[in-house]
Homo-oligomer: A and B are copies of this chain.
């Protein structure tokens, strides 16, 4: 073995005085290898500091033992938790996770898919807040297991809509049951499918109570704290402010809360506030934010199950549509409106 160069299986086999095939069998526990031989090989590996070359292995086996996660913003604690859990679970099965942050841009999503093909990952978990036709088409040409975080009427892949309208529906319903009638909605970009669904959830809850979402109480901007802050500043300058605000996620709600506080409005006395995602900051904020438990970790677990049942070949049927259950977490940011 040359100095400075990486040891190969051949180096090991030479030192252990066996064939490469035997070393390979030893490494993969695939086939017979004698105890004393194994000991020789172990020594040789130790001595050479040998590590398998994954690329060569993949080339032969066509299994990369990698999965890819595409998500729009790793700065969002929801996705950070998802990634961490995913990495952990994948690790247990000998897989690693390739994270691609799409910044919510379709162009970058497409780039990620290119990369994925070139690398030959075994599966994909695709989370997006928009809905690019082009991406969808590309996804279909990928002949690999895929889990998508959105529901499609015509199912092509396994879907897991942890991000649907159900959560906001529950939150809005909670507000209505508390007695609120004038409720605002602060969501993400109008074009975002996630936003559409969440808004629809809000409207549905209002509808059941014979209420409507007033046009000037519906803010569709961005899934960020900044956007929430702006919406909060805006709405609190109205002559007749709503008694409650239903936000499409927690960080928007944090922004809104900030703005209200600056305007001298108290949550929940003057105005009730709800979020969705149950991120750490929501729990520790003051008042604690009433929100929807939408755990990135829980999503990761279910997505992993779906993905691996396909990768392992255990399941090979039609696309499945799994709904991530959700529950309302009532904290101090909501109460009955003042009479």
Which residues of A are interface residues toward B (Cβ below 8 A)? 4, 6, 49, 51-56, 58-59, 64, 74-75, 77, 80-81, 83-84, 87, 91, 96, 98-101, 103, 111, 114-115, 117-120, 141, 143, 225-226, 229, 254-255, 258, 261-262, 280-281, 284-286
Contact = CB atoms under 8 A, between A and B. Distances in A.
Contacts of A117: 6, 51
Contacts of A91: 111
Copies in the complex: 2
B101 A84 contact: yes
A124 to B, nearest CB: 15
Given A53-B120, A59-B53, A258 B285 contact: yes
B119 A54 contact: yes
B96 A115 contact: yes
Given A51-B114, A84-B103, A229 B75 contact: no
Nearest to A285: B258
A59 B103 CA distance: 31
Nearest to A60: B55
Given A80-B80, A119-B54, A261 B281 contact: no
Contact of A284 (B54, B80, B141, B225): B225
A39 to B, nearest CB: 22
9 contacts: A51-B118, A53-B120, A54-B120, A74-B80, A87-B100, A87-B101, A96-B100, A254-B281, A261-B286
Contacts of A255: 284
A49 B117 CA distance: 11
